């Protein structure tokens, strides 16, 4: 056992290992329906509990030729409500608005805002840039049609964890450089995938035994961006991008994570580009610790800090 590991994190990891042992092994095989269903069965129960919102319902939005299921959480009150568009993590290949439902409700309660989470298309069936384009379509729907759902299109933050943080950064870059920008109040980034390199020191230090492994990250990149050229595209690899002009960012980093070094590198790059940044390292945590809400104090503290930051970013309407 790594002595740096938070004791609550250790207990949670052991609980999840016990639950996983009761299921068939999750193998990275194709077709991907079975491993995806097993991962959903393991993670979706973690969304139980947490706050109850005034409205929690699903909407199906017509985006880029298909209907995308989106989870909508609204706080009490008439609105218009500021909006957090939250993009779930899962290596671009699994997880869903169900596995991340509690996290989205916690953010809505902590920030007093609406939260919308899209079930964007997953890899390896859909490759870069389809998920990114779908998320941009949902954002543009919020900006154009959101008032009908009591959403304030002038106060939008985009957030995500892991691969979702990658999509959030890619979306912000696409909006900045596109011909029809949607102003954002901020980016909420949780232990994001920001680089396609797999050779940073944290990859060696935490290659196995800490949840997310180097092997899985290699699989995820091959699934999401199978064309080598796409792993050089700044919209897929934000650390390769020019970052100046992005909205203020909040970056939360897990200490014992193969992605830790690229998150620290992203913090340095954002600061060098003059982007307003708040960052916080959560000692003793592993990748994905936000799924441990109600079990690990660091997860609860992360949401509380993000809620305060979101309230400040939204300000008054």
pLDDT in tens, 4-46: 999 999 999 999 999 999 999 998 888 899 999 999 999 999 9
pTM given for the model: 0.97
Q: Which candidate, 177, 144, 138, places its Cα nearest to that of 158?
A: 138
Structural domains of the chain, count: 1
**Choice among 119, 152, 195, 257 that is catalytic:** 257
Phi/psi for 66 (5° steps) reads -140, 160
Q: Is 2 domain-assigned?
A: no
Tell me, rounded to whole angstroms, the distance of Cα 298 from its chain centroid: 17
Output the pLDDT for position 39: 96
Q: Is 277 domain-assigned?
A: yes
Tell me the average pLDDT across 236-260.
98
With beta carbons less than 8 A apart as the criterion, state whether 54 and 76 touch.
yes
| Residue span of the structural domain in which 106 resides | 7-314
- Could you give the C-alpha distances from 102 to 47, 89, 117, 174, 185, in angstroms and in order? 4, 14, 11, 28, 23
Alpha-carbon span 275 to 278, nearest angstrom: 10
Q: Is 309 domain-assigned?
A: yes
CATH number, residue 171: 3.40.50.1820
**Choice among 162, 174, 196, 302 that is catalytic:** 162
Alpha-carbon span 153 to 224, nearest angstrom: 30
Query: In this predicted model, what pLDDT tens digit does every residue of 40-55 receive, in sequence order?
Result: 999 999 999 999 999 9
pLDDT of 104 > 80? The answer is: yes
Q: Which candidate, 247, 264, 126, 249, places its Cα nearest to that of 203?
A: 264
Q: Do the bridges between strand 55-63 and strand 151-161 make them parallel or antiparallel, or are there none, so unpaired?
A: unpaired
* 287 carries an active-site annotation: yes
With beta carbons less than 8 A apart as the criterion, state whether 224 and 163 touch.
yes
**Choice among 73, 100, 287, 295 that is catalytic:** 287
Structure tokens at 12: 């949670």
Cis peptide before 80 (omega within 30 of 0): yes
Output the pLDDT for position 65: 83
Query: In this predicted model, what pLDDT tens digit does every residue of 140-157 receive, in sequence order?
Result: 999 999 999 999 999 999
Output the pLDDT for position 179: 77
Query: In this predicted model, what pLDDT tens digit does every residue of 172-220 receive, in sequence order?
Result: 999 999 878 899 999 999 999 999 999 999 999 999 999 999 999 999 9
Q: Is 1 domain-assigned?
A: no
pLDDT of 317 > 70? The answer is: no
| Dihedral sign, Cα of residue 176, residue 182, residue 188, residue 193 | negative
Helix axes 101-111, 297-314, angle to 10 degrees: 50
Output the pLDDT for position 180: 81
pLDDT of 316 > 70? The answer is: no
* 257 carries an active-site annotation: yes
């Amino acid at each position: 056992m790594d002595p740096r590991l938070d004791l609550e994190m250790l207990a949670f990891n052991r609980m999840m290992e016990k639950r996983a042992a009761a299921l068939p092994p999750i193998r990275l095989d194709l077709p991907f329906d079975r491993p995806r269903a097993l991962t959903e069965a393991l993670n979706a129960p973690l969304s139980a509990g947490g706050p109850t919102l005034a409205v929690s319902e699903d909407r199906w939005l017509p985006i880029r030729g298909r209907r995308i299921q989106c989870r909508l959480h609204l706080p009490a009150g008439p609105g218009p409500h500021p909006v957090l568009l939250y993009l779930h993590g899962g290596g671009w290949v699994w997880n869903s608005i169900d596995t991340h439902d509690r996290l989205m409700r916690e953010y809505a309660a902590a920030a007093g805002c609406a939260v919308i989470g899209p079930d964007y298309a997953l890899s390896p069936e859909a490759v870069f840039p389809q998920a990114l384009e779908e998320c941009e379509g949902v954002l543009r729907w919020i900006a154009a049609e959101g008032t009908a759902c009591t959403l304030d299109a002038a106060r939008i933050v985009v957030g995500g964890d892991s691969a979702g943080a990658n999509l959030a950064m890619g979306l912000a870059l696409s909006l900045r450089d596109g011909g029809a920008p949607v102003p954002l109040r901020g980016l909420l980034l949780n232990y994001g995938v920001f680089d396609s390199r797999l050779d940073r020191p944290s990859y060696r230090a935490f290659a196995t035994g800490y949840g997310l492994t180097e092997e899985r990250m290699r699989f995820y990149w091959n699934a999401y961006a199978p064309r080598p050229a796409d792993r050089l595209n700044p919209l897929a690899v934000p650390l390769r991008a020019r970052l100046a002009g992005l909205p203020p960012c909040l970056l939360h980093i897990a200490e014992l994570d193969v992605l830790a070094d690229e998150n620290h590198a992203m913090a340095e790059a954002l600061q060098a580009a003059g982007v307003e940044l708040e960052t916080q390292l959560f000692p003793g945590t592993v990748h994905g610790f936000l799924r441990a809400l109600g079990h690990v104090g660091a997860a609860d503290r992360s949401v509380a800090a993000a809620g305060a930051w979101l309230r400040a970013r939204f300000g008054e309407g």
